[in-house]
């Protein structure tokens, strides 16, 4: 799913680009690890950063969601709002979700976004492991969080 602005510029990710997850609806969201170099090519229009401390400033619009490594978000209601924003904005923008390594917190967040996109909560972790990273969602409590995300 790509859309073009009036200048012909693509506003969503290219399918198959590094870290890009295609949701069942066709929306594309990029996951990545901030400890790795920024992938070549397009930059996000909006990013959500899942870290225990405030991330560095980005050259694009971003939000920080306090989420310590191997844990769950500190404010679960805020997490629901932010992840809904990721899903909504991914319809027409390049949106990325990132944590330090790009697997545990990022995979958990992407699985929650997949739930918002219609993937059954009980299958969302498997979906993200198949289509994003086979090591995504690292802990039992992260898996449980995804299963209970919409409750």
For every one of its 151 residues, what pLDDT tens digit does the chain have, with 9 covering 90 and above? 433 333 445 589 999 999 999 999 999 999 999 999 999 999 999 999 999 999 999 999 999 999 999 999 999 999 999 999 999 999 999 999 999 999 999 999 999 999 999 999 999 999 999 999 999 999 999 999 999 998 7
The answer to whether 135 and 102 have CB atoms below 8 angstroms apart is no
Confidence at residue 10, expressed as pLDDT on a 0 to 100 scale: 58
- Cα(12)–Cα(44) distance, integer angstroms: 9
User: Is the pTM of the predicted complex or chain greater than 0.95?
Assistant: no
- Indicate the angle between helix axes 104-116 and 76-89, nearest 10 degrees: 70
Q: Write down all domains in the chain, each with its CATH number in brackets.
A: 22-36+45-147 (3.90.190.10)
**151 Cβ contact list (under 8 Å, min separation 6):** none
From the list 114, 61, 120, the residue with the least C-alpha distance to 84 is: 114
Which residue pairs, CB below 8 angstroms and at least 24 apart, start in 80-88?
80/149, 82/48, 83/48, 83/109, 83/112, 83/113, 83/116, 84/116, 85/48, 86/29, 86/46, 86/48, 86/113, 87/27, 87/29, 87/113, 87/116, 87/117
Confidence at residue 7, expressed as pLDDT on a 0 to 100 scale: 42
Confidence at residue 5, expressed as pLDDT on a 0 to 100 scale: 39
Confidence at residue 150, expressed as pLDDT on a 0 to 100 scale: 84
């Amino acid at each position: 799913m790509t859309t073009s602005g009036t200048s012909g510029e693509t506003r969503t990710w290219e399918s198959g680009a590094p870290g890009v997850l295609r949701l069942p609806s066709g929306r594309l969201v990029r996951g990545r690890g901030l400890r790795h170099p920024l992938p070549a090519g397009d930059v996000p229009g909006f990013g959500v950063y899942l870290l225990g401390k405030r991330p560095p400033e980005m050259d694009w619009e971003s939000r920080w969601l306090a989420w310590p490594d191997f844990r769950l978000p500190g404010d679960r209601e805020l997490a629901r709002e932010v992840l809904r924003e990721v899903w909504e904005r991914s319809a027409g923008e390049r949106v990325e979700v990132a944590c330090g390594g790009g697997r545990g917190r990022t995979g958990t967040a992407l699985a929650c976004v997949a739930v918002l996109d219609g993937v059954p909560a009980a299958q969302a972790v498997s979906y993200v492991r198949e289509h994003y990273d086979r090591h995504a969602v690292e802990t039992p409590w992260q898996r449980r969080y995804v299963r209970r995300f919409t409750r």
